[in-house]
């Protein structure tokens, strides 16, 4: 298969991934509005851990090879950060809704770019700093911190974005010594252990229909990660990453149709600025890499 075909397939896989993750977020919003967030995320991580262990067992060297790492502290912090970020983001869905939560969360690539210098020692030029500035103007437009009706809860998805950015940077740091399979294994197992220690205290009975939604949530979680892995195996990350913004589109559609959410003008303008700044950042990273 030629490189161009690989890129096309990678883009299709990334768009499919965003559809699956958007569906997952909508189900999470429903379940978290009925049950404790920690319990919902805990059950989701049980399935995720089983999935990563199964994947590891089928590869050469098995689970022992996948778990082998020279930097266990980094891997544990990574896994814990992602699990806690998911809890924060799901809580944001129930408080702010899907649309506004994701509108703010889309700034995480800009946070990655801004923090890659001090954390990873990467050079960030003035063009990318300008894009980061524009993106955060978009965040301010969404949050409206000077407005009399400012809701501090709007900072919850911003906190989730910061946590996810730190997770992404630690993933890049871990990749200097560990394989993708190793990082994937630690992500699932550490998250499952942490969420079990937190969520088991908030267990409550779940209705039969909601167990069906819970099963769907678990399957979409595993499917989304599998599609994402295949996407990055098929094409360069810099070529497909901009299409991750389609998740905001699909989440907005689900928020409007299923949960009757509204898209306020300031949210639409702010999100457009953030996406534009993010796309420019991805483009600059690709130009610098070339």
Please compute the mean of the pLDDT values over residues 85-110 and round it to a whole number: 88
Q: What is the structure's pLDDT at 1?
A: 40
Q: Give the residue among 11, 16, 83, 9 at the shortest CA–CA distance from 220.
A: 16
Q: CA-to-CA distance for 280 and 276, rounded, in angstroms?
A: 6
Q: CA-to-CA distance for 36 and 135, rounded, in angstroms?
A: 33
Q: What is the structure's pLDDT at 3?
A: 41
CB 259 within 8 A of CB 99: no
Rounded to the nearest 10 degrees, the angle between the axes of helix 3-34 and helix 72-96 is 60
Q: Which are the contacts of 212, defined by CB distance < 8 A and separation ≥ 6?
A: none
Q: Is the pLDDT of residue 270 over 60?
A: yes
Residue corresponding to tokens 């595993």: 222
Three-state DSSP class for residue 1: coil
Q: CA-to-CA distance for 186 and 173, rounded, in angstroms?
A: 14
How much is the pTM?
Answer: 0.85
pLDDT tens profile 23-68: 999 999 999 999 999 999 999 999 999 989 998 888 878 888 888 9
Q: Which helix or strand (DSSP H or E) is residue 32 part of? A: helix 3-34
Q: Which are the contacts of 91, defined by CB distance < 8 A and separation ≥ 6?
A: 32, 37, 156
Q: Which are the contacts of 184, defined by CB distance < 8 A and separation ≥ 6?
A: 52, 55, 66, 225, 229
pLDDT tens profile 148-203: 445 677 789 989 999 988 988 888 888 888 888 888 899 999 999 999 999 999 99
pLDDT tens profile 114-126: 777 777 676 767 6
**Sign of the CA dihedral 283, 220, 209, 94?**
negative
Q: CA-to-CA distance for 75 and 178, rounded, in angstroms?
A: 9
How many domains does the chain fold into? Answer: 1
Alpha carbon of residue 15 to chain centroid: 14
Q: What is the structure's pLDDT at 4?
A: 41
Q: What is the structure's pLDDT at 207?
A: 92
Domain of residue 148, residue span = 3-289
Please compute the mean of the pLDDT values over residues 224-233 and round it to a whole number: 79
Q: CA-to-CA distance for 31 and 17, rounded, in angstroms?
A: 21
Q: Is the pLDDT of residue 98 over 60?
A: yes
């Amino acid at each position: 298969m030629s490189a161009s075909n690989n890129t096309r397939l990678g883009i299709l896989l990334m768009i499919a991934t965003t559809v699956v993750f958007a569906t997952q977020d909508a189900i999470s919003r429903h379940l978290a509005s009925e049950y404790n967030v920690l319990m919902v995320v805990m059950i989701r991580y049980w399935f995720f851990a089983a999935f990563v262990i199964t994947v590891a067992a089928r590869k050469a060297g098995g689970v022992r090879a996948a778990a082998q790492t020279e930097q266990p502290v980094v891997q544990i912090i990574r896994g814990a950060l992602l699990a806690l970020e998911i809890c924060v983001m799901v809580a944001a869905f129930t408080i702010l809704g899907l649309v506004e939560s994701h509108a703010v969360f889309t700034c995480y690539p800009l946070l990655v770019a801004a923090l890659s210098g001090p954390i990873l020692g990467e050079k960030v030029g003035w063009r990318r700093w300008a894009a980061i500035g524009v993106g955060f103007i978009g965040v301010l437009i969404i949050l409206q911190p000077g407005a009399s009706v400012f809701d501090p809860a709007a900072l919850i998805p911003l906190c989730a974005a910061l946590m996810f950015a730190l997770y992404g940077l630690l993933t890049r740091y871990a990749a200097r010594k560990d394989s993708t399979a190793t990082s994937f294994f630690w992500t699932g197992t550490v998250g499952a252990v942490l969420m079990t220690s937190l969520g088991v205290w908030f267990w409550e009975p779940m209705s039969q229909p909601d167990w069906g939604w819970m099963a769907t949530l678990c399957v979409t979680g595993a499917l989304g990660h599998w599609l994402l892995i295949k996407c990055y195996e098929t094409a360069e990350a810099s070529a497909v990453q901009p299409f991750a913004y389609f998740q905001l589109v699909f989440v907005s559609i689900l928020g409007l149709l299923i949960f009757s959410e509204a898209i306020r003008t300031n949210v639409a303008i702010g999100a457009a600025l953030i996406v534009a700044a993010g796309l420019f950042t991805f483009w600059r990273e690709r130009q610098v890499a070339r």
